[in-house]
């Protein structure tokens, strides 16, 4: 469950969690700028990446593709 507070407003997301990843600051800044320029939601991008991995793993095609996953990052 995630609760986000801003001023006097509170948003509650009962089925969501926060995920922390360690990465290089330069990469984080560059991807943030790219996502802002292209109007891409970074949270949705990561969520779609995770879903693509799970779908390929569950249907067995991740082994056949040697671990390669193709995604359309500009998908709305």
Note the pLDDT tens digit of each residue in 26-72: 999 999 999 999 999 999 999 999 999 999 999 989 888 888 998 99
Q: What pTM was estimated for this model as a whole?
A: 0.77
Binning pLDDT at 50, 70 and 90, where does residue 76 land?
low
- Give the separation between CA 55 and CA 68, rounded to whole angstroms: 13
Domain locations along the chain = 2-64
CA dihedral sign, ordered 63, 65, 67, 71? negative
Q: What integer pLDDT is reported at residue 42 of this predicted model?
A: 93
Binning pLDDT at 50, 70 and 90, where does residue 75 land?
confident
- Give the separation between CA 68 and CA 56, rounded to whole angstroms: 10
The β-bridge relationship of strands 2-6 and 9-13 is antiparallel
| Look-up of token digits 């801003």 | 6
């Amino acid at each position: 469950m995630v609760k986000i507070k801003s001023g006097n407003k509170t948003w509650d997301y009962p089925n969501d969690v926060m995920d922390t990843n360690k990465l290089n600051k330069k990469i984080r800044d560059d991807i943030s700028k790219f996502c802002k320029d292209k109007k891409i939601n970074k949270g949705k991008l990561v969520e779609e990446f995770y879903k693509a991995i799970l779908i390929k793993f569950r249907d067995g095609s991740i082994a056949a593709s040697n671990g390669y996953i193709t995604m359309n990052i500009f998908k709305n």
